[in-house]
Amino acid sequence: MTTSPLKVGFIGLGIMGAPMAQRLQAAGHQLFVATRGKVRPEIAESGMTICTNARDVAERADIVITMVPDTPDVEKVLFGKDGVAEGLSKSKLLIDMSSISPIATKDFAARINALGCDYLDAPVSGGEVGAKAGTLTIMIGGPESAFARATPLFEAMGKNITLVGPNGAGQTTKVANQIIVALNIAAVGEALVFASKAGADPAKVRQALMGGFAASRILEVHGERMIKRTFNPGFRIALHQKDLNLALQGAKALGVALPNTASTAQTMQACAAQGWDQLDHSALVKALELMAAHPVAKD
């Protein structure tokens, strides 16, 4: 735990960013925030300092965190007009907690380093639930000195905190994480569609499987979502599509075959074609149900 509060900038107050910023404030840190959309009521009433743009955040804070949807969004926030780079001064620290391209991350880090500042890529896993509870898994790329400086912040937001390697290693780990999560969602969806079509109660099937080798966090949380039809987004299909595209782009560059990742990406594309890409990624099951002409449960 930190012995003194830090001046922390936070840019991107969406489903994940807002509760993460709240966790930092609850830990005693001073927050300077900015978001491109309407400020959430819980943020507006929190006592955090609302800044006009990313440059303003960077000027006021010693450590700046970004949590935005995709690689172009990070680039715009960092290097666009009134961006973070315009407000940085030497020895400040930039932490990008978005899930973006590992290749672009290395370029962004070099550009921030050229300004005399450190850069950490620190994407997270755990969804909205983990963000609210402060139990996120945080996978980090960057120098050890910067990691040590940021550790009190990471400890306020997460539990499983790992410095994986140099810049880009955190984003590479996140892509690997997203492959595993996507394939597990698809597996759980197929299993529940199969069981339901065969006449078994999917809720009882899930309960039985939770006691065996098939047990997983995906079966526990997203299996329940599939059965109860609670597809309000914790993590949208559109964002998971973006992450699988990063995996497939990386695989092409590395000369690696990821056949199951490609198949799951196509299943997500089938969801998008139906207009379901803003639903939670557990709604992947809806495409499987469409192909089977049989729902796991009624909406």
pLDDT score for 37: 76
Q: Is the pLDDT of residue 38 over 90?
A: no
Q: Is the pLDDT of residue 2 over 50?
A: no
Decide: 204 and 266 in contact? Cβ < 8 Å. no
- The SS3 assignment for 119 reads strand
pLDDT score for 171: 98
> Of 263, 125, 239, 290, whose CA–CA distance to 183 is shortest?
263
CA angle 246, 249, 253 (to 5 degrees): 135
Q: Calculate mean pLDDT across residues 45-53.
A: 93
pLDDT score for 88: 98
pLDDT score for 257: 98
Contacts of 118 (CB under 8 A, 6+ apart): 92, 93, 94, 112, 142, 143, 145, 146, 149
pLDDT score for 284: 98
Exposed, middle or buried by CB within 10 Å (0-12, 13-18, 19+), for 36? Answer: middle
Q: Calculate mean pLDDT across residues 172-189.
A: 98
Q: Calculate mean pLDDT across residues 253-271.
A: 97
Q: Is the pLDDT of residue 158 over 70?
A: yes
pLDDT score for 3: 53
Q: What is the pLDDT of residues 82-131, one digit of tens each?
A: 999 999 999 999 999 999 999 999 999 999 999 999 999 999 999 899 99
Query: How far is the C-alpha of 157 from the C-alpha of 134, rounded, in Å?
Result: 4
Q: Calculate mean pLDDT across residues 215-240.
A: 96
234 confidence band (pLDDT: 50, 70, 90) = confident
How high does pLDDT run on average in the chain? 96
Largest CA distance in the chain: 65
pTM, two decimals, is: 0.91
Decide: 196 and 202 in contact? Cβ < 8 Å. yes
pLDDT score for 295: 97
pLDDT score for 1: 44
Catalytic position from the list 92, 106, 174, 242: 174
143 confidence band (pLDDT: 50, 70, 90) = very high
Decide: 88 and 58 in contact? Cβ < 8 Å. yes
Active site residue 76: no
In percent, how much of the chain has pLDDT > 70? 99
Decide: 138 and 161 in contact? Cβ < 8 Å. yes
